[in-house]
Chains A and B, each alone.
Chain A
Amino acid sequence: MTLNLNPLHVSLLALTIGATAASAADLSVGLQQEPTTLDPTSEATASIDGMLMQNVYETLTIIQQDGSVGPNLATGWEVSDDGLNYTFTLAEGVTFHDGTTFDADDVIFSFNRAMAEDSKNPAKKIFAGITSITAPDPLTVEVTLKESEAFFLFNMGKGDAAIVAPETADNNATTPVGTGPFKFDNWNRGDRLTLVKNPDHREADIVSLDSVTFRFVSDAAAATAAMMAEEIDAYPAFPAPELLEQFEADPRFKVTQGNTQGEVILAINNAKPPFDNIEVRRAISHAINRDEIIDGAMYGKATPIGSFYPPQGEAYVDLTGTYANDTAKATEMFEAAGVAGSTMTLRVPPFPYAMRSAEIVQAQLAEAGIDAKVENVEWGFWIDEIYRKKNYDMTIIAHVEPNDMGNFARGADYYYGYENPDFTALWEKIRTEADPEVRNALLKEGQEFLTNEAVHGFLYQLPLHGIFRNEVEGYWPSVPVSYMPLKFVSKG
């Protein structure tokens, strides 16, 4: 199989044409979360990717707005027919921000660093299938895999696979150096982080911003004031849907609603009776009213899901109708299973979407005769007690990783407590299927499988609400990964 990719950006150029190159364009971006380090290969904090990926650091491939994979530091690649050998052709004349040249050795260094025994890469497992990586010449990298991997090229576009230089990698936590269209300028911890345009970047002519300042404003009311006072031009992931209305009514702003990769689920401990009984899980699904949950918890601003796959994805099938909301039926099923009137715990992590959803789920289960006790727990406690020790009945959480249906094939040790050899076999096929058409058909089958099994209560896709000054263009309304490249963004 051979893939020849033209340089992309045809549609993206159209976006930036409107941008005038007049005065210095500084974009001020509000972020809820401030990272503690700036190295995406050593920490899982999403805001590191959000600020720096494809801006300061780049990867071999880039994940585009629709979730497809495009060329980046690798201008193209060939894949052998068995899907085991990848030959990447690297971009010419690329330099790191410290002036050193980028070549195949940097790719090898970056991957070996991520794969090393003492590696602290949060996504080490995406490199686990690599058996060898070599450089026949400075602009070619050959990667050999153990087995065919459907998501290999996608994974090579994630922040965990950032290409770093051996000279500077150890200092990336505080002074990031990459090859991207923006250079790191300054980080005033607790207040702001600034990037400036890299004039030497190979795509510098499509980059319209001269500098970008990230401001860390975690409190939603403070963020609202900062936007209203015009201190901040863009808040791409606004945390409080209840505050959006005033921006929608204000002609200075535009508000976007899209989806993240996060499926919000009412996770059920499948290993623990009575939840090992599929009828009980199905009854829970019948007891849930997604519209009420979305109205109450997200002010109506979210998309319902009926299985474990994002609605904006190519392989999405709408299964929200499978278990119609029917309290009488749910009550009957709970009675038949002998659990009517019993008490269950609903342990909820400290995220507004989860806490608000939990209250409504609790009320809905109560109507069907189940006494759900909501326990709000702290995040460290959640990780320890629920995620690791599986000490829970139900919880509400968003799974934000892309391509994460494989969670259901992780066996009874995973916190779902779900094990089904048929699904594990199906996921093996999905994971190794190179043909996108066939893979999408299998992904649909997977969604139907999980819905039929009612493994969890599937609630809604975690929305992405963005607030932008009118002159700000080019932000993605939905994200396929945790970054949004600023090279496509302009401020009129």
Chain B
Amino acid sequence: MTYFILRRTLGFIGTLFAVSIVVFATMNILPGDPAMSILGLEATEDALAALREDLGLNAPVHIRYVEWITGAFVGDFGTSHSFRVPVSELIGERLGMTISLAVAGMLLTLVLALSLGIFAASKHRQIGDWGVMFLSQLGIAVPAFWLSILLVLLFAVKLRWLPPGGFAGWDDPVAAMRSLILPTVALALVQSSVLARVTRSSALEVMRQDFTRTARASGLSQRRILWRHVLPNALVPIVTIVGMQFAALVTGTIVIENVFYLPGLGRLIFQSISNRDLPTVQALVMLFAAIVVTANFIVDLLYVVIDPRLKARQ
């Protein structure tokens, strides 16, 4: 186990290091001048030069990379070129929003997908199964942004139950929760469609196995069989997909945050790329990469918890 964690930690650092080089190189190869993005087309050459000096853009690329990576090691991601405040401050302001959205989206996805998937499996080749399959197919086909707009039109414009967008922070928790309902639903509906199908097929496979038949034969209730015996044994493929989906969910917030004009990391990265805000983009991509790698790491640990046989193998 110790060896497993050590190997994983090294992999984690290695991945982030590779990401750092790719991001840094890409941002520096991309055509476009951060100084001109800020000062506009009519700026004089000496004003541009003064700004470039100020932003530290005149140093050679490798020097800038080393400075940046050594800063990043101690948590200093530098100052945003376009916002002129520390990148950590920018991320700190917005992390709460995106994490709240991603976690709420994940929870709702799990609740919806597991119950619908198990339900469909239990009603195999019946109307309930077909219903769930049809809806999940629809959910996979519909783009998240379009679904978001439909939700807004119905619940914000027509019924006026919920705000159409925006997020004023957690100072007013009720308002904050209300603001998060529609984006969470929009995120979760699409994600849970995929997961419900995986849950269904994985559950069906388990249901065909001998121990399920034995459980049924020994007179256990259908509910107990499904939730106590089928689901735990069907979890390995489900957890794999959940791990991948969490990554998709975090990046999916980029679209959702734009449609619901939420002040989260997704909108920040969008804005920073068009502004050629090198330090902010780098820090954000690193952060997203870290989240994805961490999610995979947790999934790996979960395998061992779900299926103790894997522990013995390691």
Which of the four size classes fits the interface of chain B? 35 or more
* Chain B residue contacts of A117, Cβ below 8 A: 46, 50
Closest to B32 in A: A380
Closest to B93 in A: A189
Query: A124 to B263, Cβ gap below 8 A?
Result: no
Indicate whether B298 reaches chain A with its CB closer than 8 angstroms. Answer: no
Known: A124-B44, A225-B165. A188 touches B263 (CB 8 A): yes
* Chain B residue contacts of A120, Cβ below 8 A: 39, 47, 50-51, 54
A216, B215: Cα distance in complex, Å: 58
Q: Which of A36-44, A254-262, A288-296, A352-360 contacts B (4 or more CB under 8 A)?
A: A36-44
With both chains docked as a complex, state the minimum distance between the C-beta of A97 and any C-beta of chain B, in angstroms: 20
A135, B41: Cα distance in complex, Å: 33
Contact mask B138-161 → A, CB, 8 Å, 1/0?
000000000001001100110010
A184, B195: Cα distance in complex, Å: 47
Contact mask A382-420 → B, CB, 8 Å, 1/0?
011101000000000000010000000000000000000
Indicate whether A315 reaches chain B with its CB closer than 8 angstroms. Answer: no
Closest to A415 in B: B41
Indicate whether B25 reaches chain A with its CB closer than 8 angstroms. Answer: no
* Chain B residue contacts of A34, Cβ below 8 A: 271
Q: Which of A76-84, A226-234, A276-284, A367-375 contacts B (4 or more CB under 8 A)?
A: A226-234
Residues facing A in B40-90 (CB within 8 A) are 40-44, 46-47, 50-51, 53-54, 80, 82-85, 90
A244, B284: Cα distance in complex, Å: 36
Question: Which of A121, A128, A189, A378 gathers the greatest number of chain B CB atoms within 10 Å?
Answer: A189
* Chain B residue contacts of A229, Cβ below 8 A: 152, 156-157, 160, 163-164
Indicate whether B166 reaches chain A with its CB closer than 8 angstroms. Answer: yes
Known: A34-B271, A120-B47, A379-B274. A222 touches B32 (CB 8 A): no
A42, B262: Cα distance in complex, Å: 27
Question: Which of B41, B83, B157, B268 gathers the greatest number of chain A CB atoms within 10 Å?
Answer: B41
Known: A34-B271, A174-B85. A43 touches B164 (CB 8 A): no
Indicate whether A119 reaches chain B with its CB closer than 8 angstroms. Answer: yes
A235, B84: Cα distance in complex, Å: 28
* Chain A residue contacts of B90, Cβ below 8 A: 189
With both chains docked as a complex, state the minimum distance between the C-beta of B183 and any C-beta of chain A, in angstroms: 11
Contact partner of B46 among A124, A190, A216, CB < 8 A?
A124
Query: A221 to B149, Cβ gap below 8 A?
Result: yes
Query: B153 to A379, Cβ gap below 8 A?
Result: no
Chain A residues within 8 Å of chain B by Cβ, number: 45
Indicate whether A215 reaches chain B with its CB closer than 8 angstroms. Answer: yes
* Chain B residue contacts of A216, Cβ below 8 A: 261
Contact partner of B42 among A125, A128, A188, A192, CB < 8 A?
A125
* Chain B residue contacts of A191, Cβ below 8 A: 166-169, 261-263
Indicate whether B94 reaches chain A with its CB closer than 8 angstroms. Answer: yes
Listed from nearest, the 6 A-B pairs whose CB atoms lie closest are: A380-B32, A190-B263, A44-B40, A36-B82, A384-B31, A191-B263
Q: Other than A36-B38, A122-B42, A215-B261, give 16 A-B pairs with Cβ distance below 8 A.
A: A36-B277, A43-B40, A44-B41, A117-B50, A120-B51, A124-B43, A124-B46, A189-B83, A191-B263, A219-B261, A229-B163, A231-B166, A379-B32, A379-B37, A380-B30, A383-B32
19 A–B contacts, CB within 8 A, in A order: A34-B271, A36-B82, A36-B83, A117-B50, A120-B47, A120-B50, A121-B47, A122-B39, A122-B47, A190-B94, A191-B169, A191-B261, A217-B165, A217-B261, A229-B157, A231-B165, A379-B37, A380-B276, A381-B30
Give the interface of B toward A (CB within 8 A). Answer: 30-33, 36-44, 46-47, 50-51, 53-54, 80, 82-85, 90, 93-94, 149, 152-153, 156-157, 160, 163-169, 258-264, 267-268, 271, 274-277
Give the interface of A toward B (CB within 8 A). Answer: 34, 36-37, 42-45, 117-125, 128, 173-174, 188-192, 215-219, 221-222, 225-226, 228-229, 231, 378-381, 383-385, 387, 401
